[in-house]
Amino acid sequence: MKEIRLEEIDSTNSYAKSRIDDFADKTVIFARRQTFGRGRLNRVWVDLGEGNLFMSIVLKPSNVLKDFYSNLTQYLSVCLCKVLEKYELRPQIKWPNDVLIAGKKIGGILSEAITNSGGNLRGIILGIGVNLNVKPCDVSKVSDKAITSLNLEIQKTVNVDEFRQKLLDEFFENYEKFLAQGFRFIKDDYILRNCFIGKELSVKVFDKVENGVAKSIDDYGELVLTKNDKDLVLTIGDIL
Ligand code: BTN
């Protein structure tokens, strides 16, 4: 595993994307500051100051894009939960891959697959942002949702390098098993930590909002909503 440490960058994902062929499989890129962090569904990931985690992992598992690579974000969300649990916290996952503590977001994941004109996979960029050291007065800089940070939860400053290493160890410990088995490998761990099954949800899917009760997560990491006695299977979306 090669590590690239940047002082300041627009986005670690954009940096990896623009140089994807230069990086070997399992290259990890992280930055101390990120000036234009990107989130899921074209949102912005706000830099809440130094001491937070902005990291992208470049993965090249094969030359062919396989469906279950999209579940890598869910695998990483489980890894993040496991690391946060070492701090005696009880993190939960909001489908598909937001990590929350007591309903407040602490980490988000953005995966991007880069293919060539022939459809072959050049690489996957798995980006993660985790709030580790946020000043109480900066929490309101994220206005569209409630957020928290590890330092605020444990009342201690967090060493970013140590946290990053714990997360990478957790990720790479079972990465090959995940590649061999796909979402099924983490299904139980994922469901154990979910905060949505059984709840009445509104889920934004592109320009549409789907309502229903979250029935389950299937073997592919999809959300199964029940609406008027019919199941609706969602592969992508945002729980409102
Ligand atoms: C989300 O919750 O919407 C996903 C947020 C992902 C943010 C991380 S920070 C490191 C990497 N670089 C980016 O520009 N985005 C991801």
pLDDT, tens digit only, all 240 positions of the chain: 899 999 999 999 999 999 999 999 999 999 999 999 999 988 999 999 999 999 999 999 999 999 999 999 999 999 999 999 999 999 999 999 999 999 999 999 999 999 999 999 999 999 999 999 999 999 999 999 999 999 999 999 999 999 999 999 999 999 999 999 999 999 999 999 999 999 999 999 999 999 999 999 999 999 999 999 999 999 999 999
Q: How far is the CA of 203 from the centre of ligand 1 (A)?
A: 21
Structural tokens at position 30: 């992280």
Extended strands (E) in the chain: 3-9, 27-34, 37-38, 44-45, 53-59, 92-94, 98-101, 104-115, 121-130, 200-205, 208-217, 223-227, 230-234, 238-239
Residue 107 Cα: closest atom of ligand 1: 2
Can you tell me the distance from the alpha carbon of 196 to that of 148, in angstroms, rounded to the nearest whole number? Answer: 19
> How does DSSP classify residue 27?
E
Task: Name every residue whose Cβ is closer than 8 Å to that of residue 5 and which is 6 or more positions away in sequence.
Answer: 30, 31, 32
**How buried is 239 (Cβ within 10 angstroms: 0-12 exposed, 13-18 middle, 19+ buried)?**
middle
69 lines ligand 1 (CB under 6 A): no
- Centroid of ligand 1 to alpha carbon of 55 (angstroms): 8
58, two tokens: 């470049």
Taking the CA of residue 39 as reference, the ligand 1 atom at the shortest distance is 3
Assess whether the C-beta atom of 107 lies below 6 angstroms from ligand 1. Answer: no
pLDDT at residue 1 in the model: 84
Q: Which atom of ligand 1 is nearest to the CA of 128?
A: 8
Decide: 171 in ligand 1 pocket, CB within 6 A. Answer: no
Residue 80 near residue 130 (C-beta atoms within 8 A): yes
Cβ(126) – ligand 1 distance below 6 Å: no
Atom in ligand 1 nearest the alpha carbon of residue 129: 9
27-34/3-9 β-pairing: parallel
The per-residue pLDDT for 51 is 97
In the reported structure, the alpha carbon of residue 124 is separated from the centroid of ligand 1 by a whole-number distance in angstroms of 14
Whether the model clears a pTM of 0.75, i.e. scores above it, the answer is yes
Predicted pLDDT of residue 112: 98
Q: Which ligand 1 atom is the nearest neighbour of the CA of 10?
A: 14
Distance (Å, whole) CA 237 – CA 98: 12
Distance in Å, CA 30 to ligand 1 centroid = 11
C-beta of residue 23 within 8 angstroms of C-beta of residue 58: yes
Q: Separation of 231 CA from ligand 1 center, angstroms?
A: 31
Protein residue whose Cα sits closest to atom 15 of ligand 1: 38
